[in-house]
Amino acid sequence: MMMQDKVVLITGAGRGIGRAMAIMMAQQGAKVVVNDLGAGVGGEETGESPAEEVVATIRAAGGEAVINGDNVASIDGAESMVQAAIDNFGRIDTVVNNAGILRDKIFHKMTPDDWNAVINVHLNGSFNTAHVAGRHFRQQESGSFVFMTSTSGLIGNYGQANYAAAKAGIAALSKSIALDMERYNVRSNCISPFAWSRMIGAIPVNTPEQQARVNKLKEMTPEKIAPMAVYLASDAAKDVTGQIFAVRNNEIFLMSQSRPLRSSHRSEGWSPETISEHAIPALKSSFYPLDRSADVFSWDPV
């Protein structure tokens, strides 16, 4: 029971990866605030309340959980969901920022509304819940954040400029929190999940290669992601912070973070001409190609 008596808020926990994490957290002894707005993949209102089924499942197994239907994109919503943890369970120990939407379009067809909607849920939503919970973590001098990033942001994908920018921003946000709140014994880490979900199912499939990739993703269930989230939220991970882990079926990867690769210098300084003639030829062998997540993770899931 690695999460015995811990109080966990999981956003977007009504379906998919969030649901799997909520159920496993409860199985490991956590008291869970199951947040889900009940929105569609693109953020549209549906009138559904998938969190009810998750809470019922947890309670039927003898666990403790409550529903929250607030919107992570609102700071008031974040206040309410953190307060739900305090009101029902007396404290908050972990926030798993999982809520998300997709509005995939090739960049030149992406509208400002497509951009803002995805940024607001993923990046601003992650800030909102972390900002509110962080005040409690600082006072109690303990706590942990688990953020969900993506290889779309860490590596790249077609038609996901909004999603990729948000997910890359989340990785930077997590690292900044890890640095700023280490003095208060607060940890922050990221998971980059590979798993079939409703959001992944909404990605357009236009070629046989894309269909083959989707078929592989269908083999990777959300339940494969949950153990890493439970571990990172637990005291067993007390020395783990500022890291990014990718979870792909039965594989776990520690992802790299940006560091210098090569350098070039001239004692007299640079001009545009000498950059062209000297610096770029010296650095070019280390340039990154325009690869995508599927190019880097090119083998079948284990």
- Domain of 253 in residue numbering reads as 7-257
List residues with catalytic annotation: 163
Name residues whose C-beta falls within 8 Å of residue 143's C-beta, 6 or more positions apart in sequence: 92, 93, 94, 95, 133, 134, 136, 137, 181, 184, 185, 186, 187
| Per-residue pLDDT tens digits for 234-291 | 999 999 999 999 999 999 999 999 999 999 999 999 999 999 999 999 999 999 999 9
- Which regions in the chain score pLDDT beneath 70? 39-48, 197-205, 210, 213-214, 216-217
* Edge-to-edge strand list for the sheet holding 31-35: 64-68, 31-35, 7-10, 94-97, 143-148, 186-194, 244-248, 251-254
Q: Is residue 198 part of a domain?
A: yes
Domain CATH for 165: 3.40.50.720
Q: How many domains would you assign to the chain?
A: 1
The position carrying tokens 């039965």 is 250
| Per-residue pLDDT tens digits for 30-61 | 999 999 987 666 656 655 688 999 999 999 99
Q: Is residue 266 part of a domain?
A: no
Q: Nearest CA to 36 among 6, 63, 62, 13? A: 13
Q: Is residue 270 part of a domain?
A: no
C-alpha span between 165 and 154 (Å, rounded): 9
Q: Is residue 187 part of a domain?
A: yes
Q: Is residue 268 part of a domain?
A: no
pLDDT at 202: 56
Q: Which long-range contacts (CB under 8 A, 24 or more apart) does 80-86 make?
A: 81/9, 81/11, 81/33, 81/35, 81/129, 82/9, 82/129, 82/132, 82/133, 82/136, 84/9, 84/33, 85/7, 85/9, 85/33, 86/136
